[in-house]
Amino acid sequence: MSQHSIEHLYRDHHSWLHRWLRSRLGCDHSAADVAHDTYIKVLTGSIPQDDQPRRYLTRIAKSLVIDLFRRRQIEQVYIETIQQLPEHYAPSTETQHIVIETLLEIDHMLQSLPDNVRQAFLMRKLDGHSYQVIADTLEVSLSSVEKYVAKALTACYLYQLDMN
Amino acid sequence: MSHSATPTRKTIELASAWMARLWSESVTDEDRDACKHWRQQDPEHEQAWQALVTMAERFDTLPEHASNSALLTQIHQQGRRQFLQWLGIFVSSAGLGYGINKTDLIQQTLADYSTSVGETRTIQLADGSELKLNTNTAIDVIFNGKDRLIKLHQGELFITTGHAASFRGQPFQVATRQGVIEALGTRFNVLQQEDITTVGVIEDTVLVHTQHQRIPLQAGQQLRFSDKHIDSTLALEPSKTSWIQRKLVAEQMKLSQFLTELSRYRRGILRCDEAVADLRISGVFPLDNTDKAIQQMAQALPVTLHTRTRYWLTVVANKE
């Protein structure tokens, strides 16, 4: 998109987008952030354009709203987790930040998968459970567990492909 | 090893199947040899394999305290309800489906419709319901298999509920900032102003849920309520729904109120001097041509129009 048309897009629709987001998020600060990020996405040109500017902007903004929600959720659950750790195990702020980013990425990679598939993969990869334990937990056959894990691996691979 | 092309979907799936085999506690030496053989068959196989290994290593970077499936599962299952609540959308007590799929959420949860100033729009929903959006209105439509919820962010909405068989048993609700209006098979109108919601019922009954009360409203009745106060139920004024015919119906309406009503349908400032604010006007005025409506009013009352700019119109008393 040309510099000129981005200026137009900003001038004509930025305050509208900000209001649109505020009415949904109920928070002026988050609305301003998401509106800002929306224009960053426009600038990087990663989203196919639309002849209707507001539809184009809301499509990007909606996806960012959901990302923001996931991030908040992950932060909240992770903070609760580390609060239960003994004090001398408490990870540094930097580690916390890296972990949250990694969890967010994993969540993204697996989000389109059915619950059983995601669960089987995480139990194998993060908990280190055997296929037998997973099969018993999910009440499915051993061969299903192997299929689930394969399916999740493919999804992660394709996700990374999309990202690069 | 060639990096020139992306492996095909089929190759990626095969590489995934091999990795899943090798991760099994019952993996045999024959499996390992067969996997190695597969990788050597074609550079594309090896490329897919290496990419998969690199991807899987991402998961090993998590420190032990975070390498826990319960953590991610917990986040996942909090799901849609929390998302809706986070968006400030009222969620009824009936359970909402778990599972949060981004594409679904974008399409369903945030399916939104809006009109600009002066515009109206009619929308047909999947359950057969019809929504008419008045000027300057924004809504979200949330159909999730259990509830049918319209979130009215601003403006005015006329609803004729649909009865498609596959939606039977799913409550139809309109949420405003002040409460929730539950339709019991019906036609009704909802107006969201700054701090006030006004509901008018044309047919059948609706149930208005405010923070502390549940008020049934019958056909021919209207109710105004804010967070702090609920007015008494009144007879429905015809002017409340005449917007659907693109008309403003005034019966002994104060000029100030007439102008406030009209300004919902036009951009810019429309006001009057205090001296004429209490003049009364009656008649039927076109909403899709507010200039004409203002001219008609000016002919009926002893007033003059002062236009400062195109967007700033003041109504003053006629000079003696």
Rounded distance between C-alpha atoms, residue A14 and residue B267, angstroms: 19
Q: Does an H or E element contain B269, and which?
A: strand B269-272
**B286 by DSSP, 3-state: which?**
strand
Cβ contact (<8 Å) for A77 and B51?
Answer: no
> Is A73 a residue whose pLDDT tops 90?
no
The ipTM of this complex is 0.80
Q: Which residues contact A138 (CB under 8 A, 6 or more apart)?
A: A116, A119, A120, A144, A145
Cβ contact (<8 Å) for B67 and A127?
Answer: yes
Instruction: Return the higher-pLDDT residue of A92 and A46.
Output: A92
Could you tell me the pLDDT band of residue B98, with boundaries at 50, 70 and 90? very low
Q: Output the pLDDT for position A2.
A: 64
Could you tell me the pLDDT band of residue A56, with boundaries at 50, 70 and 90? confident
Would you say how long chain A is, in residues? 164
Whole-angstrom CA distances from B248 to B217, B221, B245, B285, B298 are 24, 19, 9, 5, 15
B140 within 8 A of B112, measured Cβ to Cβ: yes
B106 closest CB neighbour out of A26, A66, A154: A66
Q: What is the pLDDT of residues B31-48, one digit of tens each?
A: 999 999 999 999 999 999
Rounded distance between C-alpha atoms, residue B155 and residue B192, angstroms: 5
Looking at residues B309-319, what average pLDDT do you find?
86
Looking at residues A58-71, what average pLDDT do you find?
83
Q: Does an H or E element contain B156, and which?
A: strand B148-160
B292 within 8 A of B286, measured Cβ to Cβ: yes
The CATH code of domain A112-164 reads 1.10.10.10
Rounded distance between C-alpha atoms, residue B140 and residue A65, angstroms: 14
Question: How far is residue B92 CA from its own chain's centroid?
Answer: 16
B contacts of A162 (beta carbons < 8 Å)? none
Which amino acid appears at position B20 of this protein? A
Mean pLDDT is lowest, of A108-117, B141-150, B251-260, for: B141-150
Mean pLDDT is lowest, of A17-26, B10-19, B49-58, B167-176, for: A17-26
Kind of pairing, strands B214-218 and B205-209?
A: antiparallel
CB pairs under 8 A between A and B: 143
Instruction: Return the higher-pLDDT residue of B296 and B82.
Output: B296
Distance from CA of A14 to the nearest CA of B (A): 16
Rounded distance between C-alpha atoms, residue B191 and residue B264, angstroms: 12
Looking at residues B151-171, what average pLDDT do you find?
86
B contacts of A154 (beta carbons < 8 Å)? 12-13, 16
> Is B99 a residue whose pLDDT tops 60?
no
Strand-pair partners of B113: B139
Q: Output the pLDDT for position B309.
A: 78
Cβ contact (<8 Å) for B25 and A130?
Answer: yes
Rounded distance between C-alpha atoms, residue A147 and residue A138, angstroms: 13
Q: Output the pLDDT for position B93.
A: 36
Q: Which residue from A46, A44, A37, A39 is spatially nearest to A10, judged by alpha carbons? A: A39
> Is B190 a residue whose pLDDT tops 70?
yes
Residue spans per domain, chain A: 1-90, 112-164
Whether A43 and chain B come into contact, CB under 8 Å, resolves to no
Could you tell me the pLDDT band of residue A91, with boundaries at 50, 70 and 90? confident
Q: Output the pLDDT for position A68.
A: 84
Strand-pair partners of B198: B191, B224
First to last CA, chain B: 95
Looking at residues B162-167, what average pLDDT do you find?
80
B281 within 8 A of B297, measured Cβ to Cβ: yes
Instruction: Return the higher-pLDDT residue of A60 and B220.
Output: B220
Q: Which residue of chain A comes nearest to B109, CA vs CA?
A: A62
Whole-angstrom CA distances from A19 to A26, B90, B150, B274 are 10, 20, 19, 32
Could you tell me the pLDDT band of residue A16, with boundaries at 50, 70 and 90? confident
Q: Output the pLDDT for position B96.
A: 36
**B306 by DSSP, 3-state: which?**
strand
A131 closest CB neighbour out of B24, B76, B101: B24
Mean pLDDT is lowest, of A71-85, B3-17, B63-77, B81-95, for: B81-95
Q: Which residues contact B169 (CB under 8 A, 6 or more apart)?
A: none
Q: Output the pLDDT for position B280.
A: 95
Cβ contact (<8 Å) for B13 and A154?
Answer: yes
> Is B111 a residue whose pLDDT tops 80?
no
Which amino acid appears at position A15 of this protein? S
Could you tell me the pLDDT band of residue B194, with boundaries at 50, 70 and 90? confident
HEC profile for B197-229? EEEEEEECEEEEECCCCEEEEECCEEEEECCCC
Strands (E), B31-171: 111-114, 121-124, 130-133, 138-143, 148-160
Rounded distance between C-alpha atoms, residue B144 and residue B123, angstroms: 18
